[in-house]
Amino acid sequence: MITALTRKDILGTKELSVEEIELVLQTAESFIEVSTREIKKVPTLRGKLVINLFFEASTRTRTSFEIAGKRLGADTINIAASTSSVVKGETLIDTARNLEAMNPDVIVIRHSAAGAPHLLAKRLKASIINAGDGAHEHPTQALLDLMTMKEKKGRIAGLKVAIVGDIAHSRVARSNVYALKKMGAQVVVAGPATMLPRDFGQIMGIPVYSQMEEAIKDADVIMMLRIQLEREKQSIFPSLREYAQRFCLTESKVRLAKEDVLIMHPGPMNRGIEISPEVADGPYSVILDQVTNGVAIRMALLYLLAGGARDV
């Protein structure tokens, strides 16, 4: 059992080892309690600076990182691209270098370009946490999903997890497939052919279905992905109505899964499109537990990256 992360950055679940994932999950479990106290703050990261640099819209993830930093006693600053010098034409590297001149300990970045966090990680001394880069990875979401499964099911290994929706554009799906496979879960995905990247199943080594029913049969966990409505124009699906008819998780579809199935969604939900309101608010839904666990996972990562001495 390792007790520390030696890496500087968290860029994806692809490069995390099983031991590292276990350490993050175990550390996060200890942080759950801090958020239930009357005084929800510990002094662990007092005097540390966390910058949230978001080039894409986000409520959940940005707030979650901000709360995580604050509960650990760090100073957190949020920068949204729309109100930053980016609109004046500054490049990503120049923005990042200027931020670095203010000596942050951690920079949390979300960017529409895959690899943007990796670029910063190479150039900056601060720890970089990837909060979503294009359609590439969203590691903190996958870790909080794993934490929720482990909390509710007591294990991850051996679970059948079905991920359904727009796989091609989903960084949540990628990060989850990498992490779940490493931890011994059986992962399957389903979506319309236009939303499945070519050779995805072969590259990832998992079954791919174009019928949702086949994927969710006997599943322990069903993870619904958000339909990115802004992509409707790209003609990857004919109409929202047709999509909803085939891929909306309804109560009758839930019955195909195991009796004690967990329903997950990374948010924000399009009610009535990928998930019916009865299912989203139903007894199997752990969607709000995911949000609660998200704060604990981000506290754990900030603590593990910024909480100790940096090798000189």
Q: What amino acid positions are annotated as catalytic residues?
A: 60-61, 88, 110, 138
The residue (of 30 and 245) whose beta carbon lies closer to other proteins is 30
Pick out residues in 126-155 that bind other proteins (CB under 8 A): none
Chosen residue from 15, 17, 18, 37 binding other proteins by CB under 8 A: 37
Other CB atoms within a 10 A radius of the CB of residue 86 amount to 17
Kindly state the smallest distance separating residue 187's Cβ from other proteins, in Å: 29
247 Rama sector, left if φ>0, alpha if ψ -120 to 50, beta otherwise: alpha
Contact call for residue 309 and other proteins (CB under 8 A):
yes
Contact call for residue 303 and other proteins (CB under 8 A):
yes
Chosen residue from 4, 57, 93, 229 binding other proteins by CB under 8 A: 4
Other CB atoms within a 10 A radius of the CB of residue 174 amount to 24
Helical pair 139-153 and 287-306, crossing angle rounded to 10 deg: 120
Other CB atoms within a 10 A radius of the CB of residue 291 amount to 16
Contact call for residue 27 and other proteins (CB under 8 A):
yes
Contact call for residue 256 and other proteins (CB under 8 A):
no
Tell me if 182 sits within 8 A of 142, measured CB to CB.
Answer: no
The residue (of 33 and 230) whose beta carbon lies closer to other proteins is 33
The residue (of 190 and 296) whose beta carbon lies closer to other proteins is 296
Tell me if 97 sits within 8 A of 273, measured CB to CB.
Answer: no
Contact call for residue 33 and other proteins (CB under 8 A):
yes
Closest among 135, 71, 111 to 299, alpha carbons compared: 71
In angstroms, rounded to a whole number, what is the distance separating the alpha carbons of residues 243 and 236? 10
Q: Provide φ and ψ at 173, rounded to 5°.
A: -60, -45
Contact call for residue 104 and other proteins (CB under 8 A):
no
Task: Compute the C-alpha angle 48/49/50, nearest 5°.
Answer: 125
The residue (of 117 and 294) whose beta carbon lies closer to other proteins is 294
Binding mask 40-59 for other proteins (x = CB under 8 A): -xxxx---------------
Tell me if 180 sits within 8 A of 187, measured CB to CB.
Answer: yes
Beta strands (DSSP E) in the chain are 49-54, 75-80, 106-111, 127-133, 160-164, 186-190, 208-209, 221-224, 262-264
Number of residues that bind other proteins (CB under 8 A): 23
- Provide the 8-state DSSP code for 157: T
Kindly state the smallest distance separating residue 49's Cβ from other proteins, in Å: 13
Contact call for residue 67 and other proteins (CB under 8 A):
no
The residue (of 92 and 300) whose beta carbon lies closer to other proteins is 300
Kindly state the smallest distance separating residue 19's Cβ from other proteins, in Å: 13
- Residues lying near other proteins in the complex (CB under 8 A) are found at 1, 3-4, 27, 29-31, 33-34, 37-39, 41-44, 72, 303-304, 307-309, 311
